[in-house]
Chains A and B, each alone.
Chain A
Amino acid sequence: MNFIKKIIPMKDFTLRSLMQFEKTPLNMLMFVITIALLVAFGWGVVEYLVHSHHAYNITRQHPWGLLIAMYIFFVVSSTGLCIVGSLGDVFGFKDYMAMSKRAILGSIVTILAGFAVIAFEIGHPVRMLIYNVLSPGLTSAIWWMGTLYGIYLTFMIIEFIFLMRNDMKNARIFGLTGLLVGLAAHSNLGGVFGFLNARIISNGVFYPTYFILTAFITGIYLTYLMYGFRYKMQIPDDIKKGLLGLAKIQALLLGILMFFETWKLMTAVYGGMPGRADTAEHIFHSAGFLYGEVLCGMVIPFVVMLATKWQSIKLYVFTSFIGMIGIFFMRYDLVHDTQVKPLQMMKITEYQLPPTWIEYFPSAAEIAIGFGAIGIFFMLYYFGQKMFELDATEH
């Protein structure tokens, strides 16, 4: 333990103290939710181990489902928190200095939660680790994404160590490298979809850039949530300034996102290109897009921030929660919408109407693992803040 403490300063804690927390109603609620999610995750994993992919509702036509969406959800969150964390220690914005530690810890635990999900999505995760090194698929966006995220995680951990040691110079170097690798990894994740010439709704430059943009937005939402919970809405002044600044950035980013989305849809529909226009219209009419992405993810937070003139932190914590729901739908729809248009006219038996759109709804096991991983995030974050001093100290 001491050896570890030499590398990374930690609070004094015992196993017992790790398990103890103030029994406020909110804490109790979080405790119950976390345990429930972890139990769900465990159950889902057992289902998967027993039935393998049969436990999931993924099909030949819809090979990627909720778990991929949740993986993206977590890694986007991670990248987002990394960006927020970098504002202070990398770019030297004073107002955000105090947030770095918490944000970087957040980025580490979210990506770990993401890896936990993807481990049970991929049929042979161990093979993936081995052959990622032994026979790299250099033309594969997934390979780049996976590899870069691996490096990114390493840099994030090193950055976090230097942050805890208050070695800001080194933290800055690794923070910057980590950020660049993270952005590269993240845009490659966009590339996984952008490279799909088979699925013209996703093909092109949109997703790689959109991913970076929404990552930043997600990072800000999560920062609000983390601080809202940390200080039970009684935000100290050194943080307050940063958070208020983030609200302005957030409003700007949301504005850009809405602008992007509008043009993406317009260009997709315009000209009526088969496979793109019809899919875009289908997406436009789906509840997930309208209520999830647009209303929760963009419009409500944007309007709230505009209406309150960037001054109401408490309200922003709540809108961030709504925003995160929107972010979830963005990830889920991204995965689903890419596959919603049948690649082939799939009528292969007589008594079958050819499906216009491919349907998918996650199975219980997928839901359990996918959302259960949020429990992993909660748990890791809880232990993280028990073990490390995340609040601002003298720099």
Chain B
Amino acid sequence: MKIIETSRRKFLQGSVALCVYATSSFSSPIFTTKTSDKKVKDIPYLCNMCRNKCAGFARVENGTLTKLNPNQYFPKSRNMLCPKGNAGIQALYDSDRLKYPLIRIGERGDGRYKRVTWDEANEYIKDKLLKIIDEQKDNRSTVAYCNGEGFNKDEYIKFFGSKLGSANFLDEGSICLNTKLGATQLTIGDIGEMDVAGSDYMIISGANRYESLITPDSVDMIHAKQKLIVLDPRCTMTAIKADEYLPLHPGTDLAFCLSMIYIALKEELYDKAYVKKYFQDFDKLQKHILKNKYTAQWAEEKSHISAEKIERITREFFAASHPLYYLGRRSVWSANDFQLRRAMVLINALAGSINRKGGIIFGKPFRLKEEEITEPFYNNAEGRFDLDGIVYGSQKGGSWLNFREKVINQTAPYTVKVLFVRKHNIMQNMPNITKTKKMLTMMDLVVVLDTMPSDTAMMADVILPECTYLEREDMVVSFNRLEPSLALRNRVLAPLYESKTMQDILKGLGKKLSTPLFEISSKYDEDLQDAIKEQGKTKAFNEGGYNLAELYKDDISTRNKKLILTQFDENVYVSLKTKGVWHPYIENQKNLGNDLYEYYPEDKRFYTVQKKYKVNCFLKKLQKYGFDAMPTWHDRYDFKPAKDSFRVITGRYVTSTQTATTNNMMLKDMKETNRLWINAQVAKKLEIEEDDYVIVTSSVSSVVLQAYPTNKIAPQVVWFAHGFGATAQELTNAFGKGASDNMIIEDKFEKIYGCATMHETDVNIRKL
């Protein structure tokens, strides 16, 4: 293959030129294609435009994907596709897509790459990786790897963690919702699921369910006969649709929650029978809350929600038959986030809303068996270091900010030289982008697997083009607990250009790397040396599980069939292949009207299950490490931005998924850029008018974007949506549009789960 040496601009032109060629050869449209009046066989698939996963049917005509439609069989997605789901076609046919493997030929970040074959790319990775692992004396953890996409994450971990032997896996959890998962797990012993549909009184703190759609929650909220209370420092769509909207200061939701607990205890509103049966250390909680006098008046001072409202809502909440304090599903805001989530769980528990309709339910998910693989044992592989100084932390996904900090300060116990990045735009997704850039420049090898030339891909040494979700089959997945189902992503089209599925990419890498890496281990690993002496090289290799590609011996189709047939039966398999979904009542779904369905009959849903659990009010481990064992307010949590400065908070539009969809033609059409929401009265004083450009400066950096003065945001708060401000010119639709929030958000993280706190940055605003 001809090597194209290109400058940054030429790279772009090259990809455009190739796209023209590609469109003719794959007959793929760049824009919309009208569907025909012919009947075709729709292919069931699972959406991947965001983390949520809805089911759909893809319409393919003459080899071209023309339409995506919702799937009525999936209990989770309630027969709907959101704007992003509908715009998946544009993700598939995005002309900026990564089309073939690329190797960097310029400086890191300057965008100069040459096109190579898959074999050349793998060879390049092999040479670099072997040298590094040899230098590091077989410490496999020198290879860090990260993944931002939910699907295939476990397969990815199995390759780099179980097989290759690195301890350093990082995922989006520590810049997302780990505190919520942890708080629920530690308080009631399970992460549970919230039964929004069954709740008649729901309080939401900040979660913006109508602009960040999660199924079935968002859909159920629309139809549920419930009173909805929304707390938010910004009047979001969810707030607009709420029965009652309580504006408050950022980061003071905990004060509101503490006050709710106080009132519930003081007025004895809580479910006494439940508390008696399930609560551990209830007396400690009672004493702690009452002693600290978290009264409604106190909470009013902290949060700006009137005491009268707090009292009334608390009483209404505890008087409701199925109250639910929605635990949220979004990034961590403040240093008190872990205890905030715990306070929410405790409020639900005090109302008895655990393991019952309309509360946090445990349910009965389908548990899919894992495919067995042999994991080699590496004596020289060191453990992870990013949870040092973190109380709990996620053993799986670690703490990004702590990891990055230790790498760039070189305070890690060993050096991390390699980073594999899959579908994880780390140059945009975590606070203080400058530091991420620094970390990447310190690496000897950065390999990016992605579909788009993201800001992160542009920092890679090797770019491996992965296909989109519409071009691959994935392993069957179990969804939900209340109305559990299985869903399978079927392949809609063969991978376009030279892109491959993750499994095929790893299989290629595995084939290339297995033997040489085994050789390195045999050089340093005494146990392996013994094994070789005993069994001979081939046997030691095979039985020790050193074949990295073991999992990918069979293709996904075969593996899926095998897995489903061993655990279920033929009907389930056929249903998954033809409908994309299976649940026990799929043949008898009842149309409730207007194409909304009842999936499980009411009496078959797993509202309440037999399960031993306790509600832990007091976490001793936290006390041991010098943290609050119970939700507690500290003065440092008070909302007090310096004079003339603003607290910057973040969020997103309904039409974008973090930074993954910024280049989507269709979605760009709906929302082209982000704007700075600033209180209208404040803006007037600063003489900032609509469309004016403003510079937003934090201690870290500054960004420029257009202002949107509005009365929908608090005077000392500014907001702009995440997902814009891409710096990669190769993203032709996204480049130069809006500003990136993580450019200016300070890289602070809380110490219980090591999660980045996104709402702790104060900024100054100046009109340009």
Interface residues of A (CB under 8 A from B): 349-351, 353
B668-725 at interface with A (beta carbon < 8 Å): 670-671, 675, 690, 706, 708
Size band of the interface chain B makes with A: under 10
Q: With A350-B671, A351-B706, A353-B690 given, can you name 6 additional A-B contacts, CB distance below 8 Å?
A: A349-B670, A349-B671, A350-B708, A351-B675, A351-B690, A351-B708
* Prevailing SS type, chain A contact patch: loop
- A353 → chain B closest CB, angstroms: 7
Docked CA distance A353–B670 (Å): 16
Shortest Cβ distance from B673 into A: residue: A351
A262 to chain B minimum Cβ distance, whole angstroms, is 39
Separation of A353 and B709 alpha carbons in the complex (Å): 11
Query: For A349, A350, A351, A353, which residue has the most chain B Cβ atoms within 10 angstroms?
Result: A351
- For chains A and B in complex, what number of residue pairs have CB atoms within 8 angstroms? 9
Within 8 Å CB of B708, what residues of A?
Answer: 350-351
Binding site for A on B (CB under 8 A): 670-671, 675, 690, 706, 708
User: Which chain A residues border B671 with CB–CB below 8 Å?
Assistant: 349-350
Q: Shortest CB–CB separation between residue A45 and chain B, in angstroms?
A: 29
Residues in B neighbouring A353, C-beta threshold 8 A: 690
How far apart are B564's CB and chain A's nearest CB, in angstroms? 45
Nearest 5 pairs between A and B by C-beta? A351-B675, A351-B708, A353-B690, A349-B671, A351-B690
A179-B670 Cα distance, complex, nearest whole Å: 54
- Which residues does chain A contribute within 8 Å of B675, judged by CB atoms? 351
List chain A residues, Cβ under 8 A from B670.
Answer: 349
Q: How far is the CA of A353 from the CA of B690 in the complex (A)?
A: 9
A351 to B675, CA, bound (A): 8
Cα of A349 to Cα of B690 in the assembled complex, Å: 14
Report the Cα distance A353→B706, complex, angstroms: 15
Chain A to chain B contacts (Cβ below 8 Å), 9 pairs: A349-B670, A349-B671, A350-B671, A350-B708, A351-B675, A351-B690, A351-B706, A351-B708, A353-B690
Query: Which residues on A sit within 8 Å (CB–CB) of B690?
Result: 351, 353
Give A347 Cβ to nearest chain B Cβ, in Å: 13
Residues in B neighbouring A350, C-beta threshold 8 A = 671, 708
Q: Which residue in chain A gives the minimum CB-CB distance to B675?
A: A351
Q: How far is the CB of A195 from chain B (nearest CB, A)?
A: 33
Taken together as a complex, chains A and B put the C-alpha atoms of A197 and B635 apart, in Å, by: 65
Complex Cα gap A349–B675 (Å): 13
- Which residues from chain A contact B706 at a C-beta distance below 8 Å? 351
* A353 nearest in chain B by CB position: B690
**Measured CA separation A90–B706 after assembly (Å):** 68
Nearest CB of chain A from residue B237's CB, rounded to whole Å: 10
Give the shortest distance, in Å, between A245 (CB) and chain B (any CB).
Answer: 59
Separation of A346 and B476 alpha carbons in the complex (Å): 46
How many Å lie between the Cα of A349 and that of B670 in the bound state? Answer: 8
What separation, in Å, do the CA atoms of A350 and B234 have in the docked complex? 15
- What distance in Å separates the Cβ of A337 from its nearest Cβ neighbour in chain B? 28
Q: In the complex, A353 Cα to B691 Cα: how many Å?
A: 11
Task: Give A339 to B67 CA distance when docked, in angstroms.
Answer: 36
Give chain B residues whose Cβ lies under 8 Å from the Cβ of A351. 675, 690, 706, 708
Chain B nearest Cβ from A85, distance in angstroms: 53
CA distance A350 to B655 in the complex (A): 12
- Looking at the assembled complex, report how far the CB atom of B410 sits from the nearest CB atom of chain A, in whole angstroms: 45
In the complex, the chain A residue whose C-beta lies closest to that of B674 is: A351
Name the CB-closest residue of B to A352. Answer: B690
A349 to B706, CA, bound (A): 15
Q: How far is the CA of A353 from the CA of B671 in the complex (A)?
A: 15
Q: How far is the CA of A351 from the CA of B690 in the complex (A)?
A: 8
Return B376 CB to nearest CB of chain A, in Å.
Answer: 54
Q: Chain B residues with Cβ under 8 A from A349's Cβ?
A: 670-671
Separation in Å of the B688 CB from the closest CB of chain A? 14
Q: In the bound complex, what is the Cα–Cα distance between A357 and B602 (angstroms)?
A: 54
B709 CB to closest chain A CB (Å) equals 11
The complex places the Cα of A351 from the Cα of B670 at a distance, in Å, of 11
| Beta-carbon nearest neighbor of B708 in chain A | A351
What is the chain A residue whose CB lies nearest that of B706?
Answer: A351
B691, closest chain A residue (CB):
A351
B721 CB to nearest A CB, Å: 10
Q: How far is the CB of A159 from chain B (nearest CB, A)?
A: 52
* Cα distance A140–B345 in the bound complex, in angstroms: 67
**A355–chain B nearest beta-carbon distance, Å:** 13
Rounded to whole angstroms, the CA-CA distance of A350 and B706 in the bound complex is: 13
B667 shortest CB reach to chain A, Å: 13
The chain A residue with its CB closest to the CB of B237 is A350
Q: How far is the CA of A349 from the CA of B669 in the complex (A)?
A: 10
Measured between C-beta atoms, what is the minimum distance from A149 to chain B in Å? Answer: 38
B433 shortest CB reach to chain A, Å: 25
The answer for the CA separation of A349 and B671 in the assembled complex, in Å, is 8
Shortest beta-carbon distance, A244 to chain B, in Å? 59
Whole-angstrom CA separation of A351 from B709 in the bound complex:
10
Compute how far the CA of A349 lies from the CA of B672 in the bound complex, rounded to whole angstroms. Answer: 10
- A350 to B675: give the CA distance in the assembly, Å: 10
Give the Cβ gap from B531 to chain A, nearest Cβ, in Å: 64
- Bound together, the chains give a CA A353 to CA B689 distance in angstroms of 12
Q: Smallest Cβ distance from B699 to chain A, in angstroms? A: 28
Nearest to B653 among chain A residues (CB) is: A350
How far apart are A60's CB and chain B's nearest CB, in angstroms?
15
Q: How far is the CB of A285 from chain B (nearest CB, A)?
A: 24
Shortest distance between the CB of B651 and any CB in chain A (Å): 13
* Closest CB in chain A relative to B285 CB, distance in Å: 43
Task: Determine the distance from Cα of A23 to Cα of B670 in the docked complex, in whole angstroms.
Answer: 62
- What is the CB-to-nearest-CB distance from A167 to chain B, in angstroms, rounded to a whole number? 60
Least distance between B122 CB and chain A CB atoms (Å): 46
Nearest A residue to B707, CB-CB: A351
What's the Cα separation between A182 and B706 when bound, in Å? 56
CA distance A353 to B708 in the complex (A): 11
Tell me the bound Cα distance from A349 to B674 in angstroms. 12
A351–B708 Cα distance when bound, in Å, is 7
Minimum CB–CB distance for A312 against chain B, Å: 54
Query: How many Å lie between the Cα of A350 and that of B674 in the bound state?
Result: 10
Cα–Cα, bound, A351→B712 (Å): 13
Whole-angstrom distance between the Cβ of B674 and the nearest chain A Cβ:
9
> Shortest distance in angstroms between A356's beta carbon and chain B's nearest beta carbon?
15
Complex Cα gap A350–B721 (Å): 13
- A349, A350, A353, most chain B CB atoms within 10 A: A350
Shortest Cβ gap from A150 to chain B (Å): 37
Question: Shortest beta-carbon distance, A69 to chain B, in Å?
Answer: 31
**A248→B671 CA distance, assembly (Å):** 62
